[in-house]
Amino acid sequence: MRASSKPFFVDIADSKTNENEQCHNDKTTKTVLVAGATGYIGRAVVSECVQQGYNTVALVRNATYITSTADGRERYADSFQGAQLVETDVEDAAALTSLIAQVADESGKPVESIISCLASPTGTRREAYAIDYQATLNCLQAGRDERVQAKHFVLLSAFCCHNPLLQLQQAKLKFESEMAAQSDMTWTSVRPTAFFKSVSGQLEAIRGGAPYVLFGDGAVTQCNPIAESELAEYMVNTITDPSKHGKILNIGGPDEPLTNQMLGNMMYQSLGMEPKFVYAPTSLFDPIINTLQWIADKTGEEKWQDAAETVSGALECEKCWLCSRTLYLTYLSPYSSFLLLYSGTHWEILCR
């Protein structure tokens, strides 16, 4: 299910570049690098940069997979058309800086901006600070290097950082603080609410006959996800919009937020099916979290701390309503704790 909508928090019309200004701003002579380019939003950002005319460089971990395998081409060919793929490890600060300097030098087109769409897939402490903080900081420092001298940095953050209960949120805030403290580059932090991608899994589940799980009464929380294309457009447009420099910007859509139950009803209606809801109290997570945290405190083992953080993250994300179906499948199973700890599969936070 995909939607295109006017953002709820900020007017996307404000981010449109004036046509006269565009005529005097030849983007083809400027380079934009996108870190986290293979992610859901990263792919949209790469496409938007190409569409706007920038010399676009997508930083990826495995370029061979993307260009030389059927699966890679199927997943990324459309998104990366017109962009240059450059393989790098964003966790290697020195190598990353040297690579970006080389790209700028060889292209003869100065780096106008670095856009970070990096995000840890699990949200555990170790990974959050390795990716959402340190790897993102590596990108910022590379842009500040005298061999690069990038002008603007754009961060894909998360709306939930306004209430930083999780390690992922705290890692992002730590980076935002360091980004704001430097003066070599202008910057913008964009905090979207949630993405429509999450809805597709729920739609398939109820199409298969599974009930739609509502936490609480299904109307306690509201959310307004934004289409990836509009988020990408807004992020890229901040590069040339001084009014959005040095700011943390919340963005979402559509105009009116939806409750979880409203979303469920829309899905059933689109499928021509009678709604089948299951209601579950959020309090059922408390004993799971408390038990895992107690074990973590007693043993000092990272896997238990990660488990507690993972379940806490899931509960926090439920406030964005997009996660309720996945929450049900993951945590109401009698085998959930075993799977969580030993299968290596962690909760992927969908609200960032």
Per-residue model confidence as pLDDT tens digits over 112-153: 999 999 998 877 888 999 999 999 999 999 999 999 999 999
**Position of tokens 């910007």?**
249
Distance CA 29, CA 159 (A): 33
Output the pLDDT for position 95.
97
Distance CA 251, CA 46 (A): 19
Q: Where are the domains of the chain?
A: 12-198+224-251
Output the pLDDT for position 6.
41
Decide which of 254 and 155 is more confident. 155
Confidence of residue 59 (pLDDT cuts 50, 70, 90): very high
Superfamily designation of domain 12-198+224-251: NAD(P)-binding Rossmann-like Domain (3.40.50.720)
Distance CA 31, CA 302 (A): 41
Decide which of 202 and 184 is more confident. 184
305-316 pLDDT tens trace: 766 666 665 555
- Across the chain, mean pLDDT equals 80
Q: Is the peptide bond before 254 cis (omega within 30 degrees of 0)?
A: yes
Confidence of residue 329 (pLDDT cuts 50, 70, 90): very low
Q: With 50 as the cut, is the pLDDT of residue 213 above it?
A: yes
Beta bridge partners of 277: 212
Q: With 60 as the cut, is the pLDDT of residue 320 above it?
A: no
Output the pLDDT for position 173.
96
Confidence of residue 319 (pLDDT cuts 50, 70, 90): low
Output the pLDDT for position 198.
65
Q: With 50 as the cut, is the pLDDT of residue 168 above it?
A: yes
Decide which of 336 and 208 is more confident. 208
pTM of the model: 0.78
Alpha-carbon dihedral 15, 248, 172, 4, rounded to 10 degrees: -30
Residues with Cβ within 8 Å of 216's Cβ and at least 6 positions away in sequence, in order, are 279, 281, 282
Greatest alpha-carbon span in the chain: 64
19-28 pLDDT tens trace: 444 443 589 9
Confidence of residue 258 (pLDDT cuts 50, 70, 90): confident
Q: With 50 as the cut, is the pLDDT of residue 189 above it?
A: yes
